[in-house]
């Protein structure tokens, strides 16, 4: 009998992706993605269920990603029924200091990697018609301005636009949505200056988010309870965008 199709969680080694993996692992067989095998093995050990897989790839090199993923799926004999794209990076600097290479890297890691993965997962070889759900972790900053984060905001805006277009193209077989978190406590935000994080906390009426606040939404959006939801950019931000911001 064929192995059950997997859920691919990118960025599963840390923060939101790790939390999503832990929340989904009970009911699904996962492919845990990150760059470092050791960190991923630690997540695999923490996950309920035993036969989760590990896939390492650096998304900064988006041009080799499709071939890499195709090879992984063929070698492991697995198909993917759901993608949760959590991998991402953020940088904050005045726009005049943005170098083209930095912008390209951010676009690759945050957005083009998802587009490359989705392209492969829609192809008959190796994935057949297994794909059913696509969920991209975007950001509330796809909708709001943020000083020094022009390229980051643009990568997330691209993700939001992409899911609307894909929903039109892929319905009814594949549902496609993005989730727009406000500030969530993860290694990404913990690296920010403490004063900035304090201002973030004050600007979120429900306080800073926890990884579990996002993971529970992901779980819902992949469930039958969300069977009539597609093409949406869904905000989960503790009220941040409803008040005046930072
Ligand atoms: N935290 C927030 O407040 C917040 C708010 C809105 C949106 N988001 C979005 O949520 C997503 C996850 O963020 P997080 O806060 O959980 O960050 P995090 O803890 O720093 O985790 C980032 C994840 O992305 C992976 N990653 C980074 N660069 C990569 C690359 N070049 N190639 C492949 N994988 C790479 C990391 O894997 P390695 O182990 O290889 O480093 C890690 O698993 C991001 O897309 C972020 O923009 C976060």
- Give yes or no for residue 60 CB within 6 A of ligand 1: yes
Q: Looking at the domain assignment, is residue 244 inside a domain?
A: no
Q: Report whether residue 41 contacts ligand 1, using a CB cutoff of 6 Å.
A: no
Q: What is the pLDDT of residues 138-172, one digit of tens each?
A: 999 999 998 999 999 999 999 999 999 999 999 99
Q: How far is the CA of 151 from the centre of ligand 1 (A)?
A: 15
The answer to whether residue 1 sits within a structural domain is no
- Is 60 within a domain? yes
Within a domain: 216 = yes
Determine the residue of 9, 10, 14, 179 to mutate for testing ligand 1's pocket, defined as the one with the most ligand atoms within 8 A of the Cβ atom: 14
Predicted TM-score of the model (pTM): 0.97
Q: Which of 141, 152, 162, 217 is catalytic?
A: 152
156-162's contacts with Cβ under 8 Å and 24+ in sequence apart are 156/110, 156/111, 156/180, 158/107, 158/111, 159/85, 159/110, 159/111, 159/114, 160/233, 162/111, 162/114, 162/115, 162/136
Q: Which residue range forms the structural domain that includes residue 110?
A: 6-236
**Number of structural domains in the chain:** 1
Is 246 a domain residue? Answer: no
What pLDDT digit, counting tens, does each position of 235-246 carry?
999 999 998 766
**pLDDT digit string, tens, across residues 77-115:** 999 999 999 999 999 999 999 999 999 999 999 999 999
**CATH number of the domain within which 27 lies:** 3.40.50.720
Nearest CA to ligand 1 atom 26: 87
Q: In angstroms, what is the span from residue 14 Cα to ligand 1's centroid?
A: 7
Q: Per the domain annotation, does 81 fall within a domain?
A: yes
152 annotated active-site: yes
Query: Could you give the CA distance from residue 148 to residue 246 in angstroms, rounded to a whole number?
Result: 13
Whose tokens are 């988010």? That residue is: 209
Whether 245 is covered by a domain: the verdict is no
45 burial via Cβ count (<10 Å: 0-12, 13-18, 19+): exposed
Half-sphere exposure of 142 (CA within 13 A, CB side): 24
Closest among 10, 57, 4 to 29, alpha carbons compared: 4
């Amino acid at each position: 009998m064929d192995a059950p199709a997997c859920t691919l969680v990118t960025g599963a080694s840390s923060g939101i992706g790790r939390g999503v993996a832990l929340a989904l692992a009970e009911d699904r067989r996962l492919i845990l993605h990150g760059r470092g095998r050791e960190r991923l093995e630690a997540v695999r050990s923490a996950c309920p269920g035993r036969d989760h897989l590990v896939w390492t790839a650096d998304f900064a090199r988006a041009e080799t990603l499709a071939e890499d993923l195709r090879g992984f799926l063929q070698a492991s004999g697995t198909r993917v029924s759901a993608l949760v794209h959590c991998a991402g990076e953020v940088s904050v600097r005045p726009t005049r200091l943005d170098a083209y290479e930095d912008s390209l890297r951010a676009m690759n890691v945050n957005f083009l990697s998802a587009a490359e993965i989705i392209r492969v997962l829609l192809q008959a070889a190796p994935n057949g018609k297994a794909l059913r759900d696509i969920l991209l972790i975007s950001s509330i900053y796809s909708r709001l301005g943020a000083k020094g984060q022009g390229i980051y905001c643009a990568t997330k805006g691209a993700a939001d636009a992409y899911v609307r277009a894909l929903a039109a193209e892929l319905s009814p077989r594949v549902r496609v949505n993005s989730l727009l978190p406000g500030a969530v406590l993860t290694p990404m935000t913990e690296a920010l200056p403490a004063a900035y994080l304090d201002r973030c906390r004050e600007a979120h009426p429900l306080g800073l988010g926890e990884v579990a606040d996002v993971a529970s939404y992901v779980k819902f959006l992949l469930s039958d309870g969300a069977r009539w939801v597609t093409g949406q950019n869904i905000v989960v931000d503790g009220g941040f965008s409803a008040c005046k911001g930072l």
